[in-house]
A and B are shown apart, each in its own frame.
Chain A
Amino acid sequence: MADLGRAALVVTLGLSLYALVVGGFAARDNRRRLADSARNALFCSFGSTIVASAVLATALVRRDFSFQYVAEHTNRSLPTQYALSAFWGGQEGSLLLWLLVLTGYATLSLISSRRLLRDLTAWVVPVFGGITTFFAFMLVAVSSPFNTQTAPFDGAGLTHSLRNPYMVAHPPMLYLGYVGLSVPFAFGVGAMLSGKTDERWIVATRRWTLAAWMFLGFGQLLGAHWAYTEVGWGGYYAWDPVENAALMPWLAATAFLHSVMIQERKGMLKVWNMVLVALAFELSVLGTFFTRSNVVNSIHSFAQSSIGGWFLAFVVISSLFSVGLILKRLPFLKAKTKLESPISREATFLYNNLLLVALCLAILWGVLFPIVTQLVKGQQQTIGRPYYDFFLRAFGLPLLLLMGIGPLIAWRKASARALLRTLAWPIATALACGGVLVAVGASSSLPGLLAYTFCAFVLATIVVELVRGTRVTGSLLTLISRNRRRYGGYIVHAAIVLLAIGVAGSSAYQTTADRPLKLGQSMTIDGYTLTNRGVYTSNSPQASKTGAILQVSGRYNGTIRTEFADYKIPPESAKNVSIKTDWKRAQDLYVIPDELHPKTQLIYIEVLVKPLVNFVWIAGIVFVLGSLVAMWPDAREQRRLVTRLVLARA
């Protein structure tokens, strides 16, 4: 069966090359049947990649250790769902997942746009062909999941920290996001190659872009939750280079989703949007480079791999191609109108874009800095949390403000007087909220206080918009269904507010304490009293464990355990933290073991009380809901788009 998998990948490579080369000729020479043939080749590459994926999935489920990949990432005792998740647990399998999702997106996006963009899709096919050629080549020639060996009796097994439902879902979600950004990129490049740089390509790819952005955002939150519950350092986002690698394309895509609204309405920012869509795509490929190449230190980094150089070359070549094409097509990208006023919705979107891109580039510099110092000084210097926290506050707080101002400001031009009148209630709400927060002691952290106040402002503007709109339409449901993009966007803004509240609360207002505790001794933190009730050890075929039993009283009454585990297959040490959620107070009690001494029954533990941290996870659900509302198909819009074509051809 490994031969079938290899053959399927070779077929994918051949088809991708055909789509690239023949598709390019067909588009250039205006040859319909040849263009259709190239498009069919791209569709077939999805089919052959499905075959290759099915071979690997079957081998994983069957634990066919004659496949090197299966032996390296599974063993006989691994539950089936984790054996399947090993598909993306290693480098080769994750590359195959990339290719599967890429060919799938290419097929579906081309099928969905064939009516509206007949003249453009001929140029999009070779772009997709180029990207799929690269990944197919990597799988065929550099990093194949179908290398075989004499089958050992058992495999090496899956890292224990990856045996977690969140880690099963996190990589596929991220890949649906990363790879999905290739759709607007391919259509944008296709638009430039064909010279048809009007807004049709944006309208046709809008939902694909939104879907990719949703998956990327939600995937990051799944990873954050995994880090919070499994890694056990007390946080959920460490500004790890691989974490940043997912955040950067998401920020670029967020900027793109906002600025395309300006292009659709005003015909402005065409060059900027092309730059953004290329930036988002290149950052998504760069993210894979960082994850797999080990050029930067990360807990996510795997063994030194062979693909880093290839990925870097692809990013450099495709970036140069994109920049060259944008410069060549500048005459087609001229703006139809210009910005009329610095106080307008267009202007707020522009400010929002600048802040998002600035934050993205600041994070990129933080990720690249160790590589640069390695090259210049011969020694890697890393950038720590304070750098990232500074820029998150510097750019994130103004972004929060703009989220509130943007929806209430008119397009084209707004007077300062009218703007202040419209914002009166939200400003009053924010100030009142700020006053209350100061009274309850939240001024201990100025960034936290500002974040909460701005969040109140944004929530108030959303409520004002919904109330006003409902008065006009008569029902909230009618309001949202008639303008899904706008009101879905407001729901997403509400999700970002919840995220900001959760992040501010759990970082700026967190309390921590670490103490040694003898048997029977207690410690108190923020209304919780923890008493050491003893240290235990246990031994099983899977693992040896040493744990502490703690009795908790006060805001939570009960017993908790926190422990060290030494797993045997594969050999690995892990911390199992204890997390108790108090939904009434919206906070978590988080206990981390530092040292546990069974002989003396002495324990060293770190205890954190994290207010509002669960808002971060709730934000993820609201984020998905808002994104789904925004991208929900609108039959009237589809009819409108088709009717335009009919009228144009009449």
Chain B
Amino acid sequence: MLAIILGLLLAAGVVVLVALPFLREPVAADDRLDAPTEAEARRLELIEERDRALAALKELEFDHRAGTIDDEDYRTLVTPLRQAAARALRSLDAETGNRRSMSELPTEPGPPPDEGTPPTPAPVPEPYPPPDEATIPSPDE
């Protein structure tokens, strides 16, 4: 008897849960999957590219300060990374029309430091923690 009751409860629960999306919205105004539009997907890709470039710069900076990468290798590697980050930021700005992010990073790399003195790295903008909610434009802006 217990087995039958449990079986019936299982069957009822399953039917309800599987049908739940249709029970909640018998008629849906928009039944499409909540997928990003092409423009949103493109922006997401650019944001990821920006974050990747900035993370790479941050890691390079850390490894240089830790002594894992010496000054010569640092000078060789930092310029292309900064250029990649700048390109990503420019592309993102062009996509979003938002000039705010361009003030965070110089577009051209600084002059190489003198030989014999450790380079003073330009401040790398901190991508983390993420910008706070106040800086994210609301849909109404």
Contacts and interface: CB of A to CB of B under 8 A. Distances in A.
Interface of A: 1, 3-4, 7-8, 11, 15, 18, 26-27, 30-37, 40-41, 43-44, 47-48, 51, 118-119, 122, 196, 198-199, 264-265, 408, 410-415, 418, 421-422, 465, 468-469, 471-472, 636, 639-640, 643-650
A37 B31 CA distance: 12
Interface in B98-141: 127-131, 136-139
B123 to A, nearest CB: 16
Given A8-B10, A47-B14, A636 B129 contact: yes
Nearest to A118: B34
Interface in B44-95: 44-45, 47-48, 51-52, 55-56, 59-60, 62-63, 65-70, 72-73, 76-77, 80
Given A415-B72, A636-B129, A644-B48, A471 B66 contact: yes
A8 B35 CA distance: 34
A47 B18 CA distance: 12
Interface string B1-19: 0010011001101100111
A310 B28 CA distance: 42
B13 to A, nearest CB: 7
A11 B15 CA distance: 11
Contacts of A8: 7, 10
Contacts of B35: 30, 118-119
B21 A40 contact: yes
Given A31-B33, A119-B35, A1 B3 contact: yes
B33 A122 contact: yes
A647 B136 contact: yes
Nearest to B132: A643
A408 B68 contact: yes
Given A32-B34, A199-B48, A47 B10 contact: yes
Given A31-B31, A648-B44, A119 B128 contact: no
Contacts of B66: 465, 468-469, 471-472
Contacts of B44: 644-645, 648
For the complex of A and B, list the 9 residue pairs with the smallest distance between their C-beta atoms, beginning with the closest.
A119-B35, A468-B66, A648-B44, A36-B21, A4-B3, A643-B130, A33-B21, A648-B43, A44-B14
B31 A640 contact: no
Contacts of B59: 411
Contact of A7 (B7, B22, B40): B7
B43 A37 contact: no
A413 B68 CA distance: 13
Contacts of B47: 644, 647-648
Contacts of B51: 640, 644
Contacts of B43: 647-648
B45 A15 contact: no
Given A415-B73, A647-B136, A30 B33 contact: yes
A615 B25 CA distance: 60
B18 A41 contact: yes
Nearest to A4: B3
28 contacts: A1-B3, A7-B7, A8-B10, A11-B10, A15-B14, A32-B28, A36-B20, A36-B21, A37-B21, A40-B17, A44-B14, A44-B18, A47-B14, A119-B33, A198-B48, A408-B68, A410-B69, A410-B73, A412-B77, A421-B70, A469-B66, A472-B62, A640-B129, A643-B136, A644-B48, A647-B136, A648-B40, A650-B138
A73 B135 CA distance: 64
Contact of A33 (B7, B25, B128): B25
B70 A33 contact: no
Contact of A11 (B11, B32, B34, B128): B11
A607 to B, nearest CB: 48
B40 A649 contact: yes
A44 B67 CA distance: 54
Contact of A639 (B11, B67, B129): B129
B101 to A, nearest CB: 10
B90 to A, nearest CB: 16
Contacts, number: 154
A43 B18 CA distance: 9
A639 B13 CA distance: 35
A73 B120 CA distance: 71
B49 to A, nearest CB: 9
A650 to B, nearest CB: 5
A265 B21 contact: no
B121 to A, nearest CB: 13
B128 to A, nearest CB: 6
Nearest to A649: B40
A199 B48 CA distance: 9
Contact of B33 (A32, A411, A418): A32
Contacts of B22: 33, 37
A265 B130 CA distance: 19
Contacts of A34: 21
Given A8-B10, A30-B33, A650-B139, A418 B40 contact: no
Contacts of B34: 32, 118-119
B131 A643 contact: yes
A385 B68 CA distance: 41
Contact of A472 (B28, B55, B65, B128): B65
A414 B74 CA distance: 10
B130 to A, nearest CB: 4
B138 to A, nearest CB: 8
Nearest to B59: A411
B21 to A, nearest CB: 4
A33 B31 contact: yes
A1 B43 CA distance: 55
A413 B14 contact: no
B40 to A, nearest CB: 5
A650 B136 contact: yes
Nearest to B45: A198
Nearest to B28: A33
A639 B48 CA distance: 14
Nearest to B53: A265
B45 A413 contact: no
Nearest to A267: B52
A410 B63 contact: yes
B36 to A, nearest CB: 6
Contacts of B55: 265
A34 B55 CA distance: 39
A389 to B, nearest CB: 35
Q: Which of A35, A41, A644, A647 has the most CB of B within 10 A?
A: A647
Contacts of B45: 198
A485 B18 CA distance: 38
A4 B6 contact: yes
A256 B37 CA distance: 30
Contact of B3 (A3, A465, A636): A3
Given A4-B6, A198-B45, A650-B136, A43 B17 contact: yes
A122 B34 CA distance: 10
